[in-house]
Structure formats: C-alpha cells, structure tokens
Homo-oligomer: A and B are copies of this chain.
Amino acid sequence: MDNRRDWAHCSRVHAPLLSLPDANPSSPRQNCGLGGYCTPIESSLARPEHDALVCSHAHVKRGETLYRLGDRLSSIYPIKAGCFRVSAITERGDHQVIGFYLRGEILGLDAVATQSHTSTATALEDSEVCIVPFEHFERLCAKSGPLQQHFHKMMSREISVDRNMMLLLGSMNAEERVVSFLLSLSARLVARGYSPVDFNLRMSREDIGSHLGLKLETVSRTLSSLHEQRLLDVDGRHFRVLDVPGLKRLVGEPESAR
C-alpha cells in the first residue's frame, strides 16, 4: 500500500509509471530489462489491464539494501539494471549468501509465504528495480492466464535453482563448486547478451565463498588451481574462461551428453 516507508534507505523513488520498455530498446527483447517478465503482460493483456500494471522504479546504489530481513512484503522487484546479492542469516548470527540476482530476475519471491522477507538484498553495483506491489500483482494475475502462468513459472524456477544449489552444497568438493558456479554464471550472462567466456564479477571472494559454502581462501586457492590447469585466466574480478569443455569435465558433464 504505502511503499514509502520501505524506501528511506534507497537513493530515490520514482513516481509511479508504467513498467514497460523505455523508449530506447537498445538490445532486442530488453523490455524493461525484465527478460520475459513484462513480455507476457505486453502480449496478452488487453490494453486497460496492460496499463493497469503500473509500478514505481527505484534506484539502489552499490552497497545499499533493497529490503532487509524482517521487512514486510509489499512488493516484488524485477531487476531492471544492475545486480544484487541476497543473503540470509541463521539464528546463530552467521550469514550466508543465498544467491546473486541479475537483470531480469525477480527479487522478493521468498516473502510471499510469510508476508515478510527472510533475507536481505544488497546491490552489488548501482542498480534499478521495478516495484510491483504484490497485492495488486496478484489481482492482475487472476485476470490474465498467461501472466499467472508466467508468475508460477518464475516461482518454480526459483525452486529449481535452489535445488541445484542444494546439490552443489551437499555433494561437491571445492573445485566442483567453483567450476559449477562459474559455468552457471556464464550461462546466465550469455542469456543477457554478454560474452560467455569473458566477464567481470561484482562480488568479492568472500561473497562467492559464502554462497558456495567455502572459505574465501579456499575460493582463491581453487581459482589459482584452475588457472594452473590452464582452464581459466583470473585477474582480480575479471575472468576469462579458456577451456569450457575442460571445466565441464571437472563437474562430470561429458559435455556431449543428452
């Protein structure tokens, strides 16, 4: 209802406006940077309903949080630009990075059940999100089958991603974890039009370690080892993958499978 309170810590909040593509579609299908999130709305809603999905945008500067553990769920947040780190905290106080979210992915889906966020989302670079008031969104879902289906798939995809992480955390050694992480990140970057072999990460070794259930030293050592194996060039946060098949072999993918 009133989003204002939640946004005190954000740089600025735009007045409500349509969440659809900016006038400059620089890359194809970059609608609102939502990677398919807005598309079903655009393609399948009648005009009045279409216009009804208004939302604000918010800019979140590097290091600022979009929402924190315990905040009431008011909205979900498709990422329009930038990237976020989502981390949770245990009773004991140690916290762990749940995942990294890129442009086109949706933040806040974990809060639907409890009506309050169970994690904290922090911008890893200056970023921009759409603010989709959840109650409003749910009502619209009921009016549009395709929108509803799309939302269900988003939630379900979230579950699938988390399960892959569980597999990683439960049964892989350090090298497999790091390689798996790099390969999956690479795939997500490709889908956003970046190079699959040449990328800059926004997160620290500690963030990566926390996400993979490893200590930062182990991440560093593993990256060095991959470099020695001539599979990867590492220069700080800049990565260049030299041997994709080689990496895939390390995580047990015969690469020509299926």
Contact = CB atoms under 8 A, between A and B. Distances in A.
A8 interface: no
Interface stretch (A11-19, A112-120, A123-131): A112-120
B110 A213 contact: no
Contact of A156 (B155, B163, B166, B211): B155
Does more than half of chain A's interface fall in helix, strand or loop, or is it mixed?
helix
A244 interface: no
Best-buried of A92, A166, A167 by chain B (most CB within 10 Å)? A166
Interface residues of A, number: 49
A91 B168 CA distance: 11
A166 B112 contact: no
Nearest to A114: B160
Interface in A75-111: 88, 90-94, 96, 98, 109-111
Contact of A112 (B112, B152, B165, B167): B152
B141 A96 contact: no
Number of copies of this kind of chain in the complex:
2
A94 B212 CA distance: 19
Interface string A145-159: 100110011111111
A98 B148 contact: no
Contacts of A170: 96, 169, 210-213
Interface stretch (A221-229, A231-239, A250-258): A250-258
A115 B133 CA distance: 28
Nearest to A153: B113
A165 B153 CA distance: 22
A118 to B, nearest CB: 6
A138 interface: yes
B171 A213 contact: yes
A167 B88 contact: yes
27 contacts: A88-B163, A90-B167, A91-B251, A91-B252, A92-B252, A92-B253, A93-B252, A94-B171, A109-B156, A111-B156, A112-B156, A113-B154, A113-B159, A114-B156, A118-B160, A118-B163, A119-B163, A138-B148, A139-B145, A141-B148, A152-B155, A155-B155, A155-B159, A158-B159, A159-B159, A162-B166, A166-B166
